[in-house]
Structure formats: C-alpha cells, structure tokens
Structure 1
Amino acid sequence: MSERKSIAARANYRETGASDRIEVHALQASVYGTGAAGVSEALISGPADTLSLVAELEEQIIGHILLTPIAGPERALALAPHAILPAWRDMQIGTELVRHALKLARDRNWRCVFVYGQPDYYCRFGFRSSTADCAEVIWQGPRFLALELEPAALAGWSGALEYPDAYLALAEAIHR
C-alpha cells in the first residue's frame, strides 16, 4: 500500500459533531476564506437532513464535506463545500471523504447528488455532466455534474433546482 493510501486508511471518517464546529470553521476559513466558512456554518446548522462529515487524523480535523438537501427531484442533495487542509491534499483524504459521504447518503435513502466541480475529480465517483442536463441552473455546463445514488433516480425528471440561500451565498463566496 502506498504511503498516501496508508494515511487515508488511518484517518477516521465520521459525522460532524457539535464539538467540531470551531475546527470545521477554521478549516473552511483556511481553504475558502472567512466569508465562506461562515456560510458553511449556516448550512451545517441548517436542515436536520444535512449530511456533514469530517476526516480526522490524530485528533485533528483535516477534511470536511457537506451534502445539503435541495428542492427539485425527489430526495436530492448538493455537494459543497468539500475541503481538505493543504498539507493533507494528495493523500487520498478527499477521495475517502467523498466515498464515505456518498455511502451515508445512500444509507439514508437519498436518491441523487449534484455538484459543481472538477469533472476529472468527481467523475471517478460516477458523477456525470450528462446526468445533470435535466436540471435547470445558472451554472449549467461541463462542470455541473450529477450522480444517481439510486438507479434511474433522475429518469423522467427535469426542472429547476432550488438551493437554500446559504448554499447560494457559499457558492458565490467560493467562486469569487
């Protein structure tokens, strides 16, 4: 096993707890800036269905991912933010964090996930731009991707996705 995979295997991937909020905020601020970190906190504190996971190594949170419920197709989520501390990038931490988040979403009967991100990164998890073509969003294009967690979850559906205001503020803060 390579050293990078070994580090990822040693990390603990778990749901975010209330005591993690300060550390998650600091991580988000270091990766995306303080504005994005504040908005991320609003999403974590939002709907009970929000999935928030951390990657922890030696009692330090080194990664965070958030899946937020959105309106549109039945039981849909939006993935963002997904942040790894710079010192831990290229160690497979982000990859494992996405895998754990998607497994949790499947276990909780979510049907699909949308993300705006790097196709080279997210396509390895099954996300596809063509799968997201049914959704109407302002950022439609090759970087807007979707994953069906349940086969044919988006079959026959088309329409607008409605994101929480805090999510839209986060997207704006991250993409400035």
Structure 2
Amino acid sequence: MKLYIKYMVSLRCKLVVKEALEKLGIHYTALDLGVVETTESPTPEQRSTLNENLRYSGLELLDDKKSILIDRVKTLIIEMIHYSDELPNVNYSNYISEKLHYDYTYLSNLFSEVKGITIQHFIILHKIERVKELLLYDELNLTEISYKLHYSSTAHLSNQFKKITGLTPSFFKKLKAKRMGNLEDL
C-alpha cells in the first residue's frame, strides 16, 4: 500500500518518516520523497498515530486524491530541480505528464486551482532557489548556472532572478561576501 506524505521534500524528512514508521512497527519496502510503500495496510489506529507523529515535524498524511496528486507534482518538480544532476531535456509539461501518467492540462488546472499559482510559476520559483544555492556555493559562474538549469541565456536567468528576488545575481553574491566579511570582523 502507498502512503502519501505532504511536505516531505528533503532527506531529513525521509529520516523523520523512517523513524516514525519504525516506532509504530510499520514495515515498508520503499521510502521516497512524498511516498512510502508499505508491505501491508496500517490499521486505522497506526495511521492516526503516524499522522499525529508526523505533524510534530511539519509533515502529514494525505488522504484525498487531489491533494495526493498535487503533492506528487510538487515532489517531482523539487526532485527534478534540487536533487538531480541534470534537468530533463524535454519540456517540463511533457516530463511531468509522462512521469505521473496524467494529461498536463488536467494537472495544470488542478494545481492552479488548489495552489493558487501555475505549475510553471512553481518551477520558476524553485529554479531561482536553486540558482541562489549555486551562487552561494560559488563553484559555477552565472553562465554555467544558466546552462545547467536550461535557461536560454544568462540574460534570461538574470531577468527572471531580478523579477523574483528584486536583486540581480551579482548583487546577491555581493551580499553573501558582505555577510561573510561582517562575520570575520567579530
């Protein structure tokens, strides 16, 4: 049986879920971001206790099909942008549709209805967060970052970055250097 877990978006979340499952004696065969495959169906009491334990960590079990589908879309996007070495070379709409086996128009309408933003805007927000992360690591220059995240140009990345954050990528990097300088003065 599959259990879907909302807000499970990091490796730390996986550890929290693993611990909660083991504490309740719920055996599982797979534990991925947003989903756990159990060997048998948990009892209603186990399910309730699991949900209660997960809520302490900011997670929760999902029950209705729309919420589960929305969470699967979000998890797929987060995995794609933050945890894969290379973004897919296909349109995001095709990638999401193929991975989830749903028509993209249906997914897009449902996502917008429930989340209040489009899937495309959600992707942009996460790409900008990834850009910030890569800028802070200071291992890649902006051209390399734009190539890695499949932007059409460095200018396009810079414009999108400024539109979302209000800062240029270079100013964002300077802020990091300034903060580091302030710490060294202590």
Q: If each structure's strand is expressed as a fraction of its own residues, which one has the higher value? A: 1
- Normalized against structure 1, the TM-score is what? 0.27
* Greater RCO (Cα-Cα under 8 Å, separation 6 or more): 1
Q: Which has the larger radius of gyration?
A: 2
TM-score, with length taken from structure 2: 0.26
